[in-house]
Chain A
């Protein structure tokens, strides 16, 4: 097995024991990138090159010099008998929504196309302080607006390593694709409506949205300030736990980062799950969609393939001693997307006000008559379609005359969605669940270009993940097999506030129980070429 395909925790172990050097791991990662990634995303890249369709294109900016300097420092520390940190020598990528000092931080947008951040996000600093090697910034939907990574202004956009004609998911498409293709063992992503979990499911890797406030948002270019969560994307549960150890915890730069101690998430991974109550809810096996014939939103059952993957996972968990509890009511699940449409847009429109061409980012090169024209031109030329959609909807639903009807109402329904979870997780309640087990996505990865123009359909791809963002609770997506079309299927575990340790435990139990399965031996198609 190649060095870049080893689990991160193994790599760190070998580096700390000096069996390999940090420079070795870096070289292995760079070699893999050279073999599979192809052209990195660039602005104004409209031409298609012949082998574009055969590469992953996870990256926007590669940072080999930075990684090399870190690798040398780590190897030096080790040779001097100092502790290099728990992530010693592990290459990782960073979704280009995080600010990294001295490196372009673009948010996948022309409006920040040449923005070089003068500071580094707390989560990235912590990963580097833990010994990790930042090998580059990976592609994403523009400002994280999307579920397929297709809206990025940096082309070519990432492709799904399992089938390059399919999307990797979004908005952390670059993160999930990179990890699946062995381009860096870990990736730092963000999840606002499912942007870590959904691409993780599409790309057959593990992705976790921690509890809101568990991980500092300082340095995360904001979309939905009450929804955004930085989180780990990794190939397995242990690596996910290892990464969460490094990034979680309070931060003086973030007034919403919970003042809660960070346990060692790797410690209790092998703890058994006997007696844990894991629920299945029919509301998560129904998919909401817009029917143009009736002009209404209808519901239908999720595909039998995906249902069966979840039930199979439940079977494994039952084997490991958990109690599977059926028929859990989560009645407000179908309102997640409508509520999200309102709240996230209000926050996004406000968060995007600062991109005005005045003090950083894109300013129109055209001659302008006055300041208002400079604003309009810069924003019109700098923003792609997705930001414009969100800004305009945000303006509408927060306008003085509509705010009560839309924004306040959505905030109240948010309470009801949160209530659904509080009821089922209540230890004195009727169901007393430790976790909910659900599908992660309504479908497997769809084809590139298939649904991009339909903003409603695209948003509904997040319908099973978005409730967790509205409620603030943590969630994790785990690879759980494949569909007939050869694309991965992910299953999701949702738990009470700050129950990351338990979710990781259950995830690990599932991994162990299913480790003999054939589907665990499959590798992404792109790796057949290396």
Chain B
């Protein structure tokens, strides 16, 4: 039995987060709207209408192209892709065929095992989305709200070698799209759709076998499942002496199965020709330079820099560069704090991140600004407050918007490190618990922790734990 390797390429459709659609002034996002409410004569393909290009679509697509190191073409053209489908009102989709916005490029995707897979990009082009159809009672119901939403289509080379790799590519792509603010990239809302092209070949071979195309994959998990299912199917087919044919397959997530789609829909001759209602898209050298200049530091590059510059472990660097505003927040805090980045990293990755997730706020909208967070850490460093007070201050500052030092003073949160005051509390605790004292003196020294806890309770958390412990040891040994 020979060993096969899987060859996978992905075709992704990305919904761009401009305000309006690509060829008309309706909203681009209408996820929550009632059917056929976000429409106009243009996006419903009425007689006599004309498309008018939203230039912001070009700018966002060019930014993504730049980030993927693709070659932005100085001139690109729109073409008509003609076919009949009820959610395609004009009977053609305005897309780009042979002269797309950008060509080439790549994304280096780190894999969990430490390897890096370079995924090449064939081409990147812009086009309009179609509407949605629902099956009901033997009929189809059509909603045109989504017609005309701007899409970027990106086609990779056959560079991925497993379902996991495919999933990683989509994860990194999603991260990049959000990082650049090109798309919300929420797969469940259809902002990011991936079709997978799958084939197999004997390991070591250098040719390509016919591939199948898997459509209707709506999440990273489904992508993994669907691709694995198809690889298994192809292997079984070939080992049984059969051939893999170039089918188009539909993934049914509920049933967990692949179904062959009607080939008629996929064999159309689209009769592409230049869209006469739109002029060529020009991106001159000046614009291209401006787009390159606007390109921010990208997530994987920043991850590498954080590792190196701040000497952070890979795990930390990955979390802290997961999302752009979080990583900006972290770095800003480090700059203000001026010292050990790992210390800041611990605070951000645990308490701040937890609060952000619970409350659903973006780091850039926090009242707990980088300055304030750095302030809290410094107060703990200086011994003015203990760590648990520091943690509670995180929420307090977020709730009130006040500076941490102001809150400490106002609420008297400062540590009780005054030795006399502390000694009083300790003596009280010792006098109130003679049996535990006896246990301790009898050799059970581990219950010192319990004593510390009691002192903390008595002091309403303000006692300094280390000092408390050393004084307890002192007093208990008398």
Contact = CB atoms under 8 A, between A and B. Distances in A.
B interface SS class: loop
Interface in B81-118: 82, 84, 86, 89-92
B269 interface: yes
Interface stretch (A2-10, A162-170, A345-353, A504-512): A345-353
B338 interface: no
Contact of A225 (B144, B276, B279): B276
A437 to B, nearest CB: 30
Interface string A269-307: 000000000000000000000000000000000000000
Interface of A: 98-99, 105, 107, 112, 115, 117-119, 121, 217-222, 225-226, 252-256, 346-347, 349-350, 352-354, 356, 358-360, 371-372, 375, 395, 398-400, 403, 407
Contacts of A118: 41, 46
A99 B80 contact: no
A371 B139 CA distance: 9
A188 to B, nearest CB: 13
B86 A395 contact: no
B80 A221 contact: no
B220 to A, nearest CB: 33
A112 B84 CA distance: 19
B91 A356 contact: yes
A117 B86 CA distance: 20
Contacts of B41: 118-119
A359 B47 contact: no
Nearest to B144: A359
Contact of B84 (A99, A107, A356, A398): A356
Contact of B48 (A222, A252, A356): A222
A407 B52 contact: no
B278 interface: yes
Instruction: Determine the main DSSP class of A at the interface with B.
Output: loop
Given A119-B41, A398-B273, A353 B90 contact: yes
A359 B50 contact: no
Interface string B22-55: 0000000000000000000100111111111100
A324 B46 CA distance: 48
B44 to A, nearest CB: 6
Contacts of B80: 350
B53 A218 contact: no
A425 to B, nearest CB: 23
Nearest to A107: B47
Contacts of B433: none
A350 B47 contact: no
B47 A112 contact: yes
Contacts of A98: 48
A371 B273 contact: no
A268 B45 CA distance: 41
A255 B84 contact: no
A399 B49 CA distance: 25
B277 interface: yes
Nearest to A224: B276
Contacts of A117: 46-48
Interface string B209-234: 00000000000000000000000000
B286 interface: no
Given A346-B273, A371-B140, A398-B271, A121 B48 contact: yes
25 contacts: A99-B48, A105-B48, A107-B47, A117-B47, A117-B48, A118-B46, A119-B41, A121-B48, A218-B48, A219-B49, A226-B276, A253-B52, A254-B50, A256-B278, A256-B279, A346-B271, A350-B82, A350-B92, A353-B90, A353-B91, A354-B90, A356-B84, A356-B91, A358-B142, A359-B144
B273 A217 contact: no
B53 A354 contact: no
B332 to A, nearest CB: 42
B86 A350 contact: no
| The 9 A-B residue pairs with the shortest CB-CB distance in the complex, in nearest-first order | A353-B91, A225-B276, A226-B276, A221-B47, A398-B271, A219-B48, A99-B48, A255-B52, A221-B48
Contacts of B47: 99, 105, 107, 112, 115, 117, 221-222, 354, 360
Given A118-B41, A255-B277, A350-B91, A358 B86 contact: yes
A98 B49 CA distance: 10
Contacts of A222: 47-48
B50 A375 contact: no
Contacts of B45: 354, 359
B273 A407 contact: yes
A400 B271 contact: yes
Contacts of A354: 45, 47, 89-91
A325 B49 CA distance: 43
